[in-house]
Amino acid sequence: MKEIKNHLEVNNNEKSNSLESELFRPIQENINIQDFKVLVDSVEAHKYKDAARAFIRTNPKFKENFIGLDMSSYRQLVLEQCEEFAKSGLVHFTDIKQNIFRYAGIVEMLALFNNNICTKLGVHFTLFGGTIMFLGTERHQKYIEDANTLKTVGCFSMTEIGHGSNVRGIETTAHYDPSTKEFIINSPTPTSQKFWIGGSYLHATYTTVFANLIIKGVNHGVHAFVVTLRDKNGNVLPKITIKDCGHKLGLNGIDNGQLKFDHVRIPRENLLNKYSDVTEDGTYKSQFSSPIKNFAATMAPFIAGRMAITKGCSGALKTSLAIAIDFSYVRKQFGPTLENEQPLITLSSQQRRLMAPLARTILFDLYVQRLTRELAQPKQPISIHAHCSGIKAIYSWHCVQNLQVCREACGGQGYRSANRIAEFKNDCDIICTYEGDNTVLMQQLAKYLLALPESKVQQPTIYLDGDDAKSLLFNFENIKRLFDQREQMRLKELKQIISNSKESSYNAFNNAIPWSVKLGYAHMNKIVFDHAITTLKENNVKPLAHLIMLDSLVTIEEDLGWFVTNHLISSNVAKAIPFLIQDLCSEVTKVSRQILESFDIPENCKAPSKDLISDLF
């Protein structure tokens, strides 16, 4: 690859009124907590969120112990919590289509408390609800009323055990029988069993089933159907077998099941016929010219689920960071003398490991607000699928990595279930691989980027070099150019690796997956940053500039080898980065408790006490 060496002289010392100017001064220690709260909560959702907070604070079901509960009792408790919440009217079954701000907002708030609840509600509202609302028509409105208050629970039978992320490969069939005007839902092989179906083992009345629609031997591809699983007494209907998926690393409040259908007959009208339908006599009619297009349209609504999942990460991480930071302020260990032990928060390592994820979590949340706005538009941008996939992947990896950091930052007390981080960590872990394995999602994003028309605008290249590294780096325009250029070069690099391969196109792409993931990160880092800067320009709430700069430098440091070897940053500038990060962590620490206050986390979401040792003799 030809090296790019276009040295630019950049000097920004004099930007005294710029967005960056405050970075050069000690941090303003009194931030406006209310303004910052609205920023993080979003203009569209903050009132819904406050209502959800009030509910969590006061509802008795949210005060019951769930630590160490056996699986059966835990599942019952989570069901009851979900029912209480659904009955509160704070969320509606139609929200996934009609008020995504409310829906996303309440999921985030429930995730501050416990991911089982938002996962169970997510299956019902986003997945079952999404299928009904987006793929159904007038004839499926009848499900809404009872589903709205969880009088009936719905689940979502897409994944098969033999076909995880590769939904097109599912084997379940729906043969149409014109003589009775019914579809026959069948699991033809062991690998066609629906697996991991949340809510199915104990509670669901209905499920939407994804199956190959077959008429007179012709397979029209994957379509969605409503199947009733249980009668009014909760008994599983004949020809349907449901088994418990068993104990899991986390989310043991969710009754995941495996489902087998043995020629289950359902009425013709149970086909969700928004895009394609079958007439009584068995004629297939579709808005699309091919099964693959119908498949794409059928899958499209669920992209909102990938956005919603990030809310689970956001809630869990904010509460866990709050627990760890609170603990770091009260827990003392070591000091200049044996008698003068200091709080952990005074340690540079503790500041480094907690402030960087705090900053990133806020930036990710701001970006998800943007995605939610895009999803709320009648015509969504073409990028929406790639970006929901990308943020789901990078947010869940960020979440799992930093829940671990929070656990370790609290030492042994972080290991005790009563102190909550353990549960968050285990519950969130699955997010990395469900709703699309993260590595697969990053490949989808890379494929989207590879397919974009090449920009004809030749961007000027950037090379950050000079003695005053701080001024060069504390400059959002320079950061933007670094991120833009990295994305362009990573894209070009991936294209070259694939085109230089002597193997089949399938193998060429496969051999380059690690580079696809790198490109995915380069793209997502860039757009998260761009949106943060847009937000900052509209609304310079303190300490947003500090958080953006901290996260930017951490992002650069994570890929520092690349930035330097590709001559975007000089050695001299690169060497300054760890020191600037440490300084920024120290500054952000000063306002960290105010940031936590702006999260307005109900006390019953957190550990019983800030020192995590409420239960001494």
Considering beta carbons, is residue 277 or 562 the nearer one to a copy of itself? 562
Contacts of residue 145, Cβ cutoff 8 Å, sequence gap at least 6: none
Tell which one of 89, 190, 234, 381 touches a copy of itself (CB under 8 A): 190
Which one of residues 47, 567, 590, 593 is an interface residue with a copy of itself (CB under 8 A)?
567
| Residue closer to a copy of itself, measured from CB, 267 or 578 | 578
- Is 300 one of the binding residues for a copy of itself (CB under 8 A)? no
| Residue 512 binds a copy of itself (CB under 8 A) | yes
Distances (CA, A) of 249 to 95, 392, 423, 426, 429: 31, 20, 10, 6, 8
Contacting residue, 510, 594, 604, 609, with a copy of itself by CB under 8 A: 510
8 A C-beta contact, residue 170 and residue 158: yes
Contact 556, 395 (CB under 8 A): no
164 vs 466, beta carbon nearer a copy of itself: 164
Rounded-to-integer distance, Cα 406 and Cα 323, Å: 8
Strand partners, 271: 225
Rounded Cα distance, 289 and 293, in Å: 7
Q: Which residue, 477 or 557, is less far from a copy of itself as judged by CB?
A: 557
Any known ligand binding at 205? no
Among 77, 322, 391, 400, binds a copy of itself (CB under 8 A): 400
Asked if 7 interacts with a copy of itself (CB under 8 A), we say: no
Dihedral, CA of residue 161, residue 167, residue 172 and residue 176, to nearest 10 = 170
Identify the H or E element spanning 398.
helix 384-409
CB of 577 to a copy of itself, least distance (A): 8
**Peptide bond before 608: cis, by omega within 30 degrees of 0?**
no
Q: Is 73 in the site for a copy of itself (CB under 8 A)?
A: no
Q: Which stretch binds a copy of itself (CB under 8 A): 17-25, 121-129, 417-425, 447-455?
A: 417-425
**In Å, what is the CA distance from 319 to each residue of 114, 203, 314, 406, 424?**
10, 29, 9, 10, 9
The residue among 291 and 602 lying less far from a copy of itself, judged by its C-beta, is 291
Distance of CA 87 to the CA centre of its chain: 26
Q: Which of residues 167-186 bind a copy of itself (CB under 8 A)?
A: 168-169
| H-helix or E-strand spanning residue 363 | helix 348-376
Q: How far is the CB of 265 from a copy of itself (least distance, A)?
A: 20
**Given candidates 378, 412, 453, 460, which one binds a copy of itself under the rule CB under 8 A?**
412
* CB 358 within 8 Å of CB 352: no
Please state the φ and ψ torsions of residue 343, each to the nearest 5 degrees. Answer: -60, 145
3-state secondary structure (DSSP) of residue 214: strand
Length of the chain: 617
Site string for a copy of itself, 225-244 (x = CB under 8 A): ----------------x-x-
User: Does residue 3 bind a copy of itself (CB under 8 A)?
Assistant: yes
Binding mask 340-359 for a copy of itself (x = CB under 8 A): -x----xxxx--x-------
- Of 8, 10, 71, 330, the one binding a copy of itself (CB under 8 A) is 71
Q: What's the closest the beta carbon of residue 385 comes to a copy of itself, in angstroms?
A: 18
Q: Is 166 an interacting residue with respect to a copy of itself (CB under 8 A)?
A: yes
Complete DSSP assignment for 326-348: HHHHH-B---SSTT---BGGGSH
Contacts of a copy of itself in 29-68 (CB under 8 A): 67-68
For the chain, the farthest-separated pair of C-alpha atoms sits apart, in whole angstroms, at 88
539 binds a copy of itself (CB under 8 A): no
Q: Which amino acid is at 504?
A: S
Is 417 an interacting residue with respect to a copy of itself (CB under 8 A)? yes
CA 600, 327, 109 angle in degrees (round to 5)? Answer: 25
Q: Is 185 helix (H, G, I), strand (E, B) or coil?
A: strand
159 annotated as belonging to a binding site for a ligand:
yes
Tokens 């353990």 locate to 422
Does 12 help bind a copy of itself (rule: CB under 8 A)? no
Pick 143 or 327: Cβ nearer a copy of itself: 327
Contacting residue, 574, 584, 591, 595, with a copy of itself by CB under 8 A: 574
> Which residues are part of the catalytic machinery?
435
Q: Which of 109, 432, 464, 494 binds a copy of itself (CB under 8 A)?
A: 432
**Within 442-501, which residues bind a copy of itself (CB under 8 A)?**
none
Binding site, annotated residues: 159, 198
Binding site, annotated residues for FAD: 159, 198
